[in-house]
């Protein structure tokens, strides 16, 4: 009996192949995992910003919260702050108030600032010795944890704020990008 590949069977094969590829890429190296997560977050964040029309960057669902641009500029500032604090390196943007500075509020300037902040945190992680991710750091003078966990908190923070912008896109009639879990 001859077997025919149906569209459903093809989808199952592709799913299994992609899952197998993801499993093959799995690593026990915490640095590699963090770099991969932040690179994925950079691409996903860029998709969110690209999806918003330029005029939507100043939009706010209500007057008392951050604009779309300010949400992403908050992520940019946090990437620099977390990266420098955790790794113990100088913050190259210390004193820059991304959210408040008018020069960063346009789509082009916002995207550039956010992408550069991801480059900073990714390069900072890459520059750290593998064993340093197990050493402790105290964030904000009160929360003690390993540096690996601290970077996971930074990742959680950026995910939270990017997720908030889903409603901003919907209010502009834009469908948000599909989730990037892998």
Q: Which residues are annotated as a binding site for a divalent metal cation?
A: 74, 157, 161
Residues in binding site: 74, 157, 161
Distance (Å, whole) CA 34 – CA 111: 22
Which residues, including other chains, have CB under 8 Å from residue 54's CB and lie 6 or more apart?
106, 107, 108
- Chain position carrying tokens 């990037």: 180
């Amino acid at each position: 009996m001859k077997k025919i590949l149906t569209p459903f069977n093809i989808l199952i094969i592709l799913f299994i192949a992609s899952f197998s590829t993801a499993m093959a890429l799995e690593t026990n190296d915490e640095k590699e995992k963090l770099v991969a997560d932040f690179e994925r977050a950079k691409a996903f964040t860029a998709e969110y910003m690209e999806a918003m029309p330029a005029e939507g960057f100043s939009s706010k669902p209500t007057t008392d919260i951050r604009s779309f641009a300010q949400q992403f500029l908050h992520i940019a500032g946090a990437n620099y702050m977390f990266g420098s604090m955790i790794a113990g390196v100088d913050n190259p943007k210390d004193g820059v108030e991304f959210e408040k500075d008018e020069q960063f509020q346009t789509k082009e300037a916002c995207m550039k600032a956010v992408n550069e902040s991801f480059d900073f945190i990714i390069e900072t992680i890459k520059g750290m010795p593998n064993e340093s991710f197990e050493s402790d750091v105290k964030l904000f003078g009160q929360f003690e944890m390993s540096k690996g966990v601290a970077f996971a908190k930074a990742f959680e923070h950026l995910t939270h704020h990017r997720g908030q912008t889903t409603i901003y896109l919907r209010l502009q009639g834009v469908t948000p990008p599909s989730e990037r879990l892998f």
